[in-house]
DNA sequence: TTACTTATGTATAGAAATATACAAAATGAT
DNA sequence: ATCATTTTGTATATTTCTATACATAAGTAA
């Protein structure tokens, strides 16, 4: 039996990150699967798994999987290993949440917010809000990671908003640094549409590895999963389909200053504009949907027209990217087939058969807080990835009460590198 | 000193694939870099490297790199380790080549070809052609891998042409299987534009990790490198920008049967069509460029117009993908700025500043046989990747004259798994 | 030239992972 | 109930890899 002290065999624990990652990501959830996938010997797997179980990081689920012989015991990450903190910065609200590693909301809070506050004050308020959530909910284990969702283009690698956008004053300002100064955990930042895309992919449509998510709300944006990963482009500006221009007689003026953008023809704000011109009261996408729900013919007509405009640009995207599935979400997606039929029509009409012969175009399942959940998903995907798991286990070991410094050198030496 | 026989320490050799891959891909080309990147101990690296050097797979270059202290000796893959066989299937020719691992042409041949031959006969002819090249050139070491380039959409993972295309009779026919039956080496198949894109990326523009390659020849197509990898879409149909439609008065009929496609407005065949209508003799992209070179105003005008049309669709692609660099190649690219200016004009006019503020639009350096070289690049990238290198070393060990069977078990036991 | 720096090789002891073998457990099928 | 099958645990001897230390090599800067 390996040497153990009160907190388990820390050396074995830090080396167990590969095993932990396999279980946490769902890649291998049984001992025999771990044996195969890890390439390690049975003895080593057993030893590392024991270290993880002794440290209460991994546990055995009640259920077993049938195997033809002795049933497989299923391993899962203990929910109490830690928690995730996420924030969605909207145009007028900050939405914060504390989640379990399986993305269950444990606590949330909503704060009023104005862009004019600027990044420093906002990040401080978010940090305070996070601490309050932590205090409210008692012990939720270690902080696994922090995620922020922003309504602007984000250079993901650098963790910054890039370019002029709704987030005035945030351009090229470091977000990760200040946030990481508040908490000892990795911080991830991404654009909200990317995160919604990620959530739809991981939770509802994991089977297709190349999916296009189109968000039709007050504005229009798109996210793309390529080969199972969020596609971000060179500077995080990908998916900007709202400002693709089409020629036409009398092109409408877009809020970006150009003429004839898709947004100016089909976004919630544009439909609301047209409804107002017809004498209705409508300010945003929600108002439009309210009128559609009341069966107002003009609203329905305009929504159908918007569907065809979006269909036109979607057809271009399909020709360029060849996605395996298109998911339509956002407020206007509640208009259902009124919106979808136009998209389908144009895509199937304009694209070559190869690109569409197995292409489905579906509505996103109605669900609140997708951006927030997607943010949690991003954090968890990273934290449980092989390098993320290595970092996490190092942090867990370091946070264990008994200092490791007074143990013999050998106990800490063999720590596997991240890559 | 490790036990050696005439062919070196085969056990150490098979385990040396990670080291080999690091050197062959250029990731780490010195002993000290290998130490860092591999995460192995100095002793292990030395031992494996010695095995690779003893087997004549790796050698030391004449040059050294300055380091501040003793200069670093540079390690390279020996050119004689093996050769690559590639074939480019065109619409009327088969172009075959035998290349060194650094993509130098050692021998080539061109065969006449008609699509009507069908896949089986064609693949057999290619195999015969390959064998002839091998015979002509004497000993070039082991066959590292085979690559095929096709002018049609290819499902890369399955190694098949998909959908109706120029390659009649090839739809969903297995290509890898028959080819692999002829040769004991991995076979890779991809679309020609993807391969041209790969070559431009790896050889000329490796610095940008997200590049868009637009091929403007008799037809129009695009390839995309996303995060350093060829982007293929769900079914290999990505990059089909030639058949995106624009509305206009009197849209021209495309050869695909639709109205108003980009190809029908701006491809070599369309410009030739328009030139013929003006009384000139022109059949294809080469004829168009010949007239442009003769400074025929009508030809120049049409090429400029084509540039703007392509610019229109390129602007859409930029909004969707946010590439870091656009490379324009193909026959019409020889028209230089006559073509490029229109593309630049529309892209900078239509896209948001963020997407274009660091975006360059450049001509592909003029070079023959890009598709063939790209095919070689694809093979080499795969064969020298970590799993590819593991396979390769296994094949090399297996091909060594003295059978390993009569050696003690222990000598072969510890072979590292691929992953 | 001399000092400094980095690269590289190797001996040694010890730690970690492996292969192999055996054993027991837990289920379904006969 | 018995058998076949798969999962899981563990002891042993061995192999492989590591850490450490020392030595040498081959440049640059003073």
User: pLDDT tens digits, residue range B55-83?
Assistant: 999 999 988 888 888 999 999 999 999 99
The whole-number pLDDT of residue A34 equals 95
The pLDDT > 70 percentage for chain B reads 93
User: CA-CA distance, A172 to A50, in Å (whole number)?
Assistant: 46
A141: left (phi over 0), alpha (psi -120 to 50) or beta: left
Which of A153, A319, A323 is closest, CB to CB, to B241? A319
Which burial class, exposed, middle or buried, applies to A286 when counting CB atoms under 10 A from its CB (0-12, 13-18, 19+)?
A: middle
Closest residue in A to B222 (Cα–Cα): A320
- Residue A267's SS3 state is coil
CB A61 within 8 A of CB A72: no
Query: Which residue among A234, A235, A244 places its CB closest to the CB of B316?
Result: A244
Burial of A35: CB neighbours in 10 Å, binned 0-12, 13-18, 19+: middle
Answer for the pair A164, B354: CB distance below 8 angstroms, yes or no.
yes
- A154: helix, coil or strand? strand
- Going through B26-137 in order, the beta strands assigned E by DSSP cover 58-65, 72-77, 82-89, 93-99, 105-112
Residues in A touching B357 (Cβ below 8 Å): 163
Residues on chain A touching B238 (C-beta within 8 angstroms): 320-322
According to DSSP, residue A241 is labeled G
A67, closest nucleotide (Cα–C1'): D6
Is the distance from CB of B185 to CB of B146 less than 8 angstroms? yes
Percent of chain B with pLDDT over 90: 80
Please indicate if any CB of chain A lies within 8 Å of the CB of B315.
yes
DSSP code, position A323: -
Q: Where are the domains of chain A?
A: 10-77+385-413, 81-192, 197-370
Dist CA B267 CA B99 (whole Å): 32
> How far apart (Å, rounded) are the C-alpha atoms in residues A318 and B317?
11
Are A176 and A147 within 8 A, CB to CB? no
Q: Which residue in the block uniquely carries the two structure tokens 């037809």?
A: B219
What CA–CA distances, in Å, run from A381 to A24, A74, A127, A187, A237?
9, 20, 22, 12, 22
Rounded, the Å distance between the CA of A70 and C1' of C29 is 13
- Rounded Cα distance between A116 and A122, Å, is 9
Q: Find out if CATH 3.30.360.10 is the number for domain B204-370.
A: no
CB B91 within 8 A of CB B115: yes
Helix (H, G, I), strand (E, B) or coil at A70: coil
Instruction: Take residue B134 and report the two structure tokens written for it.
Output: 């091998």
Alpha carbon distances (Å) from A136 to A94, A108, A379, B275: 18, 10, 22, 76
pLDDT of B49 over the 90 cut: yes
A260 within 8 A of A254, measured Cβ to Cβ:
yes
Tell whether the model's pLDDT for residue B171 goes beyond 70.
yes
Q: Does the CB of A409 fall within 7 Å of any strand C atom? A: no
Mapped onto helix, strand or coil, the DSSP state of residue B157 is: coil
With distances taken from each CA to the C1' atom of nucleotide D16, the closest residue turns out to be B414
B 64-123 residues, CB < 7 A, strand C: 67-73
Contact A226 B226 (CB under 8 A): yes
User: Which residue in this structure is represented by tokens 């000290």?
Assistant: B32
d(CA A336, CA A338): 5
Question: What does DSSP say about strands A82-89 and A220-226: parallel, antiparallel, or unpaired?
Answer: unpaired
Cβ–Cβ < 8 Å for A137, A77: no
CB B64 within 8 A of CB B73: yes
DSSP state of B92: S
Give Cβ neighbours of residue B218 (< 8 Å, ≥ 6 apart).
B267, B268, B269, B284, B285, B331
Which residues pair with residue A143 across a beta bridge? A83
> Measured over all CA atoms, what is the biggest interatomic distance in chain B, rounded to whole angstroms?
81
Structure tokens at B398: 């297996």
> For residue B182, is pLDDT > 70?
yes
Tell whether A310 lies on the interface with B, counting CB pairs under 8 A: no
Q: CA-to-CA distance for B315 and B311, rounded, in angstroms?
A: 6
Strand ranges of the sheet holding A82-89, from the earlier edge strand across to the other edge: A105-112, A93-99, A82-89, A142-150, A187-191
The domain A81-192: what is its CATH number? 3.30.420.40
Report pLDDT digits (tens) over B389-413: 999 999 998 887 444 343 333 333 3
CB A314 within 8 A of CB A262: no
Q: Which residue of A has its CA nearest to B349?
A: A258
Alpha-carbon distance of B264 to B252, in angstroms, equals 6
Residues in chain A closer than 8 A to B241 (CB atoms)? 319-320
Q: Do domains A10-77+385-413 and A197-370 have the same CATH topology?
A: no
User: Protein footprint on strand D: which nucleotides are under 7 Å from a CB?
Assistant: 4-12, 14-21, 25-28
> What residues contact B150, with CB distance under 8 A and at least 6 apart?
B89, B161, B167, B170, B189, B190, B191, B192
Interface with chain A: mutation pick from B235, B313, B326, highest number of A CBs within 10 Å = B235
Nearest Cα residue to B330 out of B418, B397, B245, B271: B271
Rg, chain A, Cα only: 24
Q: Which of residues 22-51 of A touch strand C (CB under 7 A)?
A: 39-44, 47
Enter the tokens of residue A263: 């947004």
Q: Is residue B48 within 8 Å of residue B390, measured between CB atoms? A: no
Residues of chain B with Cβ-Cβ distance to A353 below 8 Å are 163-164
- Nearest nucleotide to B46, CA against C1' atoms: C9
B82-196 classified as CATH 3.30.420.40:
yes
Q: Which run of H or of E encompasses A229?
A: strand A229-230
d(CA A201, nearest CA chain B) in Å: 14
Q: For residue B72, which phi and psi values (nearest 5 degrees)?
A: -80, 130
Q: What are B110-167's pLDDT values in tens digits? A: 999 998 999 999 999 999 999 999 999 988 999 999 999 999 999 999 999 998 888 9
Predicted confidence at residue A256, as pLDDT, reads: 86
Question: Which stretches of chain A drop beneath a pLDDT of 50?
Answer: 1-7, 401-419
Domain covering A197-370: architecture: 2-Layer Sandwich (3.30)
Instruction: Please give the C-alpha separations between residue B187 and each of A64, B52, B133, B179, in angstroms, as whole numbers.
Output: 41, 25, 17, 7
Predicted confidence at residue A413, as pLDDT, reads 35
Largest Cα span, chain A: 80
CA distance A265 to A309: 7
Q: Which residues of chain A lie closer than 8 angstroms to B232, CB-CB?
A: 322
Q: At the topology level of CATH, where does A10-77+385-413 sit?
A: Arc Repressor Mutant, subunit A (1.10.10)
CB contact under 8 A, A210 and B324: no
Strands (E), A162-228: 187-191, 211-216, 220-226
d(CA A17, CA A391): 8
Least confident of A92-106, A391-405, B204-218, B224-238: A391-405
- Using a CB-CB cut-off of 8 Å, the residues of chain B touching A321 are 231, 233, 238, 320-321
Q: What pLDDT sits at residue A404?
A: 39
**Residues written for chain B:** 419
Give the span between the Cα atoms of B372 and B378, in whole angstroms.
Answer: 10
Does the CA dihedral B21-B25-B28-B31 come out positive or negative? positive
Residue A13: per-residue pLDDT: 87
Q: CA B193, CA A315: separation in Å to the nearest integer? A: 21
**Contact list, A239 vs chain B (CB under 8 Å):** 320
Q: Tell me the Ramachandran region of residue A4: left when phi exceeds 0, alpha when psi lies from -120 to 50, beta otherwise.
A: beta
Nearest to B51 by CA among B3, B85, B121, B118: B3
B412 touches strand C (CB under 7 A): no
Element (H, E) at B144: strand B142-150
Q: Answer whether A360 touches B (CB < 8 Å).
A: no
CA B194 to chain centre: 7
Which bases of strand C sit closer than 7 A to a protein CB? 4-12, 14-21, 24-28
Which of B315, B320, B387, B415 is best to mutate for the A interface (most A CBs within 10 A)? Answer: B320
Q: Which residues contact A198 (CB under 8 A, 6 or more apart)?
A: A223, A225, A230, A374, A377, A378, A381
Q: Is the pLDDT of residue B345 over 80?
A: yes
- Is the CB of residue B413 inside 7 Å of nucleic acid strand C? yes
The vertex-A214 CA angle with A313 and B224, nearest 5°, equals: 65
Q: Quick check: A363 and A394 in contact, CB under 8 A? A: no
Structure tokens, B406: 């009569």
Q: What is the pLDDT of residues B142-151, one digit of tens each?
A: 999 999 999 9
H or E element in which residue B182 lies: helix B176-182
């Amino acid at each position: 039996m390996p040497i153990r002290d009160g907190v388990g065999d820390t050396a074995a624990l830090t080396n167990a990150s590969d095993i932990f990652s396999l279980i946490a990501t769902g890649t291998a959830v049984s001992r025999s699967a771990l044996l195969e996938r890890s390439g390690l010997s049975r003895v080593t797997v057993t030893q590392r798994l024991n270290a993880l179980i002794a440290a209460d990081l991994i546990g055995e689920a009640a259920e077993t999987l049938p195997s033809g012989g002795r049933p497989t015991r299923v391993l899962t990450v203990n929910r109490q290993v830690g928690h995730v903190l996420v924030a969605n910065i909207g145009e007028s609200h900050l939405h914060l949440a504390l989640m379990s590693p399986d993305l269950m909301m444990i606590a949330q809070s909503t704060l009023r917010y104005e862009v004019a506050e600027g990044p420093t004050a906002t990040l401080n308020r978010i940090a305070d809000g996070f601490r309050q959530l932590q205090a409210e909910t008692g012990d939720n284990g270690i902080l696994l990671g922090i995620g922020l969702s922003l309504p602007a283009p984000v250079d993901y690698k650098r963790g910054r908003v890039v370019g002029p956008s709704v987030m005035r004053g945030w351009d090229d300002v470091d977000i990760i640094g200040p946030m990481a100064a508040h908490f000892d955990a990795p911080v991830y930042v991404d654009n909200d549409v990317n995160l919604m895309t990620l959530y739809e992919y991981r939770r509802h449509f994991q089977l297709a590895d190349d999916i296009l998510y189109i968000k039709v709300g007050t504005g229009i944006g798109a996210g793309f999963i390529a080969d199972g990963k969020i596609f971000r482009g060179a500077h995080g500006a990908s998916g900007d389909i709202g400002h693709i221009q089409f020629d036409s007689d009398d092109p409408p003026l877009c809020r970006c200053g150009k003429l004839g953008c898709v947004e100016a023809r089909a976004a919630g704000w544009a439909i609301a504009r047209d409804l107002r011109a017809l004498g209705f009261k409508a300010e945003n996408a929600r108002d439009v949907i309210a009128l559609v729900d009341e069966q107002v013919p003009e609203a329905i007509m305009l929504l159908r027209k918007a569907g065809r405009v979006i269909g036109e640009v979607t057809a271009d995207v399909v020709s360029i990217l060849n996605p395996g599935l298109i998911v339509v979400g956002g407020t206007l997606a509640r208009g259902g087939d009124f919106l979808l039929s136009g998209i389908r029509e144009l895509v199937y009409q304009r694209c070559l058969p190869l690109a569409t012969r197995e292409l489905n175009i579906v509505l996103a399942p109605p669900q609140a807080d997708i951006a927030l959940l997607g943010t949690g998903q991003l954090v968890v995907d990273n934290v449980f990835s092989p390098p993320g798991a290595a970092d996490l286990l190092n942090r867990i070991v370091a946070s264990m009460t008994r200092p490791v410094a007074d143990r013999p050198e050998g106990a800490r030496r063999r720590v596997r590198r991240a890559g």
